[in-house]
Amino acid sequence: MSADFESYEQDFAVLTADITGRIGKVPKLVGDEKKQMVANVEKQLEEARELLEQMELEVREIPPQSRGMYSSRMRSYKQEMGKLEADFKRSRIAYSDEVRNELLGDDGNSSENQ
């Protein structure tokens, strides 16, 4: 039973590491490359959510005396998932702010310009 859970854990770790790497690239991309990367990250985030669901199903099948350890691991995975989603959102916004600043000619030193 826990072998399945551990397999899901390994898949989740590999997937979240890849997502983290891609999230770091999003602000540096433009145009179609950025759109493609965003679509890829969204797809991977969905895969990670599905893995979490599978892991939750496995935890429900584990005998109650062993379930506590797995439940706490699930909480940490859910927190990690939330962090990834927040980081992804920030990476998309960071790019938007950079473009906005370029278009408006704002170099971030607005107090000096006044």
- CA dist 16 and 47 (Å) reads 10
Spell out the residues 6+ positions from residue 6 whose beta carbon is closer than 8 angstroms to its own.
none
Question: Cα–chain-centroid distance for residue 12?
Answer: 11
**Domains of the chain and CATH, by start:** 3-92 (1.20.58.400)
Q: What does the pLDDT read at residue 102?
A: 58
Q: Count other Cβ atoms within 10 Å, centred on residue 98.
A: 14
Which tops the pLDDT comparison, 93 or 49? 49
Name the residue type at position 4: D
Question: pLDDT digit string (tens) for 26-76?
Answer: 888 888 898 899 999 999 999 999 999 999 999 999 888 888 889 999 999
Q: What does the pLDDT read at residue 87?
A: 93
